[in-house]
Amino acid sequence: MNVQLFDTTLRDGTQSEGLSLSVDDKLKIARILDGFGIHFIEGGYPGSNPKDVEFFQRAKSLGLRHAKLTAFGMTRKAGGRAEGDPILKALVDAQTPVVCLVGKSSTLHVTEVLGTTLDENLAMIGDSVAHLKRQGRELVYDAEHFFDGFRADRAYALASLKAAADAGADWITLCDTNGGTLPSQIAEIIAAVRAAVPTRLGIHTHNDSDLAVANALAAVEAGCLMVQGTINGWGERCGNANLISIIPALQLKMGRRCVPDESLARLTELSRVISEIANIRPRAHQPYVGRSAFAHKGGMHVAAVEKVTSSYEHVPPERVGNRRHVIVSELAGRGNIRMRAGEMGLDLRGAERSLLERVKDLESQGYQFEAAEGSFELLGRRSQPDYAPPFEVLDVVVISERRRGNSMFAEATVKLRIGDETVHTVAEGEGPVHALDGAFHKALNPHFALVRDVHLVDYKVRILDPEAATGARTRVLIEAGRGDERWSTIGVSPNIIEASATALADAMELPLARAAAEAARQSAAG
């Protein structure tokens, strides 16, 4: 049986600490979710803030082709009337085809938080649902704190659901709002709900016990037909159920169709694109879609994967739009070296052992090639018998000084051998790395046109042995780019300038080495 996906990234997800979306961001994400095949998109709370009011006004022109745009709000106020309630009016004015209405299921929250009587709360639920149904809306009723409320007072929690069902709710979503319920408890309680309430059920879980995904899947197994969650599990406190993990689990492991197959193959892209819009760095170890989700580091593991990929992979990475990633480190075996080099288009021709020993030797000195694959690729290319380095670094001098009370500035001098020519250049910069980058470019740009577009994207420094204080070894990682292409290189030395110069030189050499290899391949082919 198919499962409906209810995405609340634009509402519940934005309650995540450090996450803020503009109206344009929310509109862009809504279009992406619609194109992916999400069934319900909860856009926000139109009665709570001007941003959400603007979103729903502009969302009318989105032209969603698959998803139903949903507005979120609360039941009417205690002692009031649904017809004149400002929150319900805002939900109607949003003109969405679906409304998600949240109400109380827990006696604690009714009496101590909401501050009303148990009977009045039931009336609030029934009046609000009935009013919105009269306005022609599809109604999803979210039973807040339901599982806690069920454990405290089973009869009242079920009565709150019946009030929504009797008033015409199309869906009733059971919420583990505090995120403290276990999967076995989820299944047991849902069985009791299904025996008492005929309405279609959904599940909304939070991740405070690191069980949101497991609880959502347990709920589906117990009979829920809708899953609410957010992209990448964003949300308040520890987050919400992560739809990025739930979707492949439903479709690949449980046989519950929820998105088109072609969308499933774009799952990694979905996760990363929305992370980019939200300005949140993707989590490398996130299941299914993280860069490390199908990374293999141990030599024994890689040897097995090289023979049978499923030996250490629970699903084929390409099914979710990801790829296998073989890591080279001191834990690697020859299979790691061979497979990683093969991914880079390198034929090591039996040089795996010597390259592996070189990697292990350098990593014992503080290098880390799993974080600097550009430098590993250069090691592989340099091991080729016919490799001709495009340039050789002869001298590097960097001076930082303050003159006549002015701000400190840096000056870098590099001497390179390019073919038969020796090139000697000087450049100034805001700091030593900036000056070094300028000096390398000044030397290389006249000889190699493609280097002109190479730029430094990121620069990281780590002290490897802090007990050595100011004499500690320093690891420098540089991320460089050219257009949309990115690569990382590394340098290690007690001298931060030497480490930086090594990483910068590798960052300049790699695109030249790749270009030379491609030119040689084309020449051999034609």
What range defines the domain where residue 343 resides?
295-364
Whether 375 maps to a domain, the answer reads no
Q: Which residues of the chain have pLDDT under 70?
A: 295-312, 324-352, 354-355, 359, 370-371, 405, 466-471, 526
Q: What is the pLDDT of residues 379-431, one digit of tens each?
A: 878 877 788 999 999 999 999 887 776 778 899 999 999 999 999 999 999 89
What total of structural domains would you count in the chain? Answer: 3
The β-bridge partners of 393 are 416
Residue 461: the pLDDT is: 87
Residue 327: the pLDDT is: 53
- Fill in the DSSP letter of residue 314: S
Are 435 and 344 in a shared domain?
no
Q: In this structure, are strands 171-176 and 474-482 parallel, antiparallel, or unpaired?
A: unpaired
Question: Would the pTM count as exceeding 0.75?
Answer: no
Whether 383 maps to a domain, the answer reads no
Are 357 and 408 in a shared domain?
no
Residue with tokens 């990448």: 232
Are 152 and 241 in a shared domain?
yes
Residue 343: the pLDDT is: 59
Residue that finishes a domain, picked among 222, 251, 278 = 278
Residue 351: the pLDDT is: 61
Residue that finishes a domain, picked among 249, 278, 307 = 278
Residue 379: the pLDDT is: 82
SS (H, E, C) 142-210: EEECHHHHHHHCHHHHHHHHHHHHHCCCCEEEEEECCCCCCHHHHHHHHHHHHHHCCCEEEEEEECCCC
Residue 330: the pLDDT is: 44
3-state helix vs strand vs coil in the chain, percent to 5? 45, 20, 35
Are 323 and 421 in a shared domain?
no
Residue 194: the pLDDT is: 97
Q: What is the pLDDT of residues 189-228, one digit of tens each?
A: 999 999 999 999 999 999 999 999 999 999 999 999 999 9
Pick from 516, 273, 505, 243: nearest CA to 386: 516
CATH number of the domain at 127, please.
3.20.20.70
Are 270 and 334 in a shared domain?
no
Three-state secondary-structure class, residue 106: coil
